[in-house]
């Protein structure tokens, strides 16, 4: 169950981790197009699941995951002065493939539409 405070903390963490990835992280494994899509903070504020989407043709997600996991301490250290709490939540990274799935669905819809138009030339519907 999510609380208003957990949602606010998640939103702040999403913004700040995104900025850190852009401006301060120098790990070559994280040099591709990464996007923080969501941060879900537990209601007890102890844990944060950071959902990451990999954009482009970066296929080696295992290396990206290793880079993110290696940077976890850095993120927590950098977030500490920004958070209005005693302890920064424990961070875990998870891949968010919703954008990839959406592209796949759109591609399939386009294929079905194109095939339907080939089978019924000049037809506008049933």
- Total count of domains within the chain: 2
Residues 84 and 41 in one domain: yes
**Residues of the domain holding 122:** 98-126
Distance CA 40, CA 11 (A): 9
Distance CA 94, CA 52 (A): 6
SS3 assignment, position 9: helix
Residues 106 and 66 in one domain: no
- Residue 89 confidence (pLDDT) above 90: yes
CB-based contacts of 53: which residues, under 8 Å, 6+ apart? 34, 35, 37, 95, 96, 97, 98, 99, 100
Residues 120 and 74 in one domain: no
Residues 66 and 77 in one domain: yes
Question: Around Cβ 79, how many Cβ atoms within 10 Å?
Answer: 20
pLDDT in tens, 52-84: 988 765 567 888 889 999 999 999 999 999 888
CATH of the domain at 69: 3.30.300.20
Residues 89 and 102 in one domain: no
* Higher-pLDDT residue of 48, 2: 48
Residues 102 and 90 in one domain: no
* Higher-pLDDT residue of 20, 58: 20
């Amino acid at each position: 169950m999510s609380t208003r405070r957990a949602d606010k903390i998640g939103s702040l963490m999403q913004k700040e981790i995104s900025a850190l990835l852009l401006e301060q992280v120098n790990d070559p494994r994280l040099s591709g197009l990464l996007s923080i899509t969501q941060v879900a903070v537990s209601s007890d504020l102890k844990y944060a699941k950071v959902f990451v989407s990999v954009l482009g043709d970066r296929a080696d997600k295992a290396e990206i995951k290793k880079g993110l996991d290696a940077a976890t301490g850095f993120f927590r250290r950098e977030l500490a002065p920004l958070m209005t709490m005693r302890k920064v939540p424990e961070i875990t990274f998870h891949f968010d493939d919703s954008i990839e799935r959406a592209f796949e669905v759109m591609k399939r819809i386009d294929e079905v539409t194109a095939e339907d138009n080939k089978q019924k030339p000049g037809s506008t519907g049933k």
